[in-house]
Structure formats: C-alpha cells, structure tokens
Amino acid sequence: MEIQNNNDFKYVLQDTNCVYFGRELTYAEMMDREDVPFKFKAVLSAHIARDTDLNIKMADHLMTISDSTFSYRIYEQLKLTVRVCYKVQKKGFGGKLKEKWMHKSCSLHVFCTEYRSLAAHTDVMIEDFSISKLALMVLSI
C-alpha cells in the first residue's frame, strides 16, 4: 500500500479520555508541537530519549521495542493503545467474497505479540496511537 501524503498522518488529537498521535510523527516533532501535553513531553525527554533517538517515528520505535526496555514499561503505564487496520475476506450476499477493512485497537502487549510481525510485512497497517490522560496524570516523573 503506497501512501502519497504522509502529512495526513501527522496529528495530535485530544478528547476527554485520551491523546491520539498520528503514526508519522517523530518524537522531535512531538516535542515542538504545542498541542502535546507538557507532561508527555517531559516523559519523552526524561525517559524515552534514553532508549531511542528523538528523530525516530513513534511507529518505528514501537516496531523495534523490546519488553525488557524501560520505554516499554513507561508505555504500559501510560496505557498506550495501537490502532491497526487490515483486510479480511467476508462473504457477502449471494456468496461472493468481498474484502473488508477491519479496525482494531489493542494494547502495546497485544500489538507486540500479535500484530507487529504482520505490520512489518505490510499485512497490517498502523493507524495511530493513544495514551490515557488519567494514566499520564498519575505518572510521576
């Protein structure tokens, strides 16, 4: 799947429960944006920067993250969820097979065990990431 404009996937959205990050954002771009919560920027500079370069995309970092790293545990504490999409074959009316896009939100652990290898082979596409605002609030730096 070829994507023409990657700027469509560079966004930060917030609702009352979560902060959503587009898959094309790098950590450095997150640090420069004003709509990223300050506490998450502090977590990035204090903890995530120890394990990885800030010029890497969050998606690329999560594709290579190990469950023994400190940043993995930080993301588990922040209740990071990864939203993925993939095609499945469904039977329609009359027995015809149709391709349908399925969207699924999963925790970091589920993503690493089930979907990461499929995302590396482009069978699964990462859409975005979200962290819990409540978990961010109670996390001490």
Residues 13-57 have pLDDT tens digits of 999 999 999 999 999 999 999 999 999 999 999 999 988 999 999
CATH topology of domain 9-85+103-112+125-138: 3.30.465
6 pLDDT band, cuts 50/70/90, is low
By CB neighbour count within 10 A (0-12 exposed, 13-18 middle, 19+ buried), where does 123 fall?
A: exposed
Residues 110-124 have pLDDT tens digits of 999 988 888 888 788
Q: Of 37, 32, 29, nearest to 6 (Cα)?
A: 29
Radius of gyration of the chain (CA): 16
With 60 as the cut, is the pLDDT of residue 3 above it? no
**Region 1-22: what's the mean pLDDT?**
81
Residues 83-104 have pLDDT tens digits of 999 888 888 778 888 888 899 9
Domain range list for the chain:
9-85+103-112+125-138
Structure tokens at 55: 């010029």
- State the amino acid at position 103 in one-letter form: H
Cα distances (angstroms) measured from residue 124 to each of 4, 87, 88, 95, 103:
18, 8, 11, 26, 10
pLDDT the model gives residue 4: 58
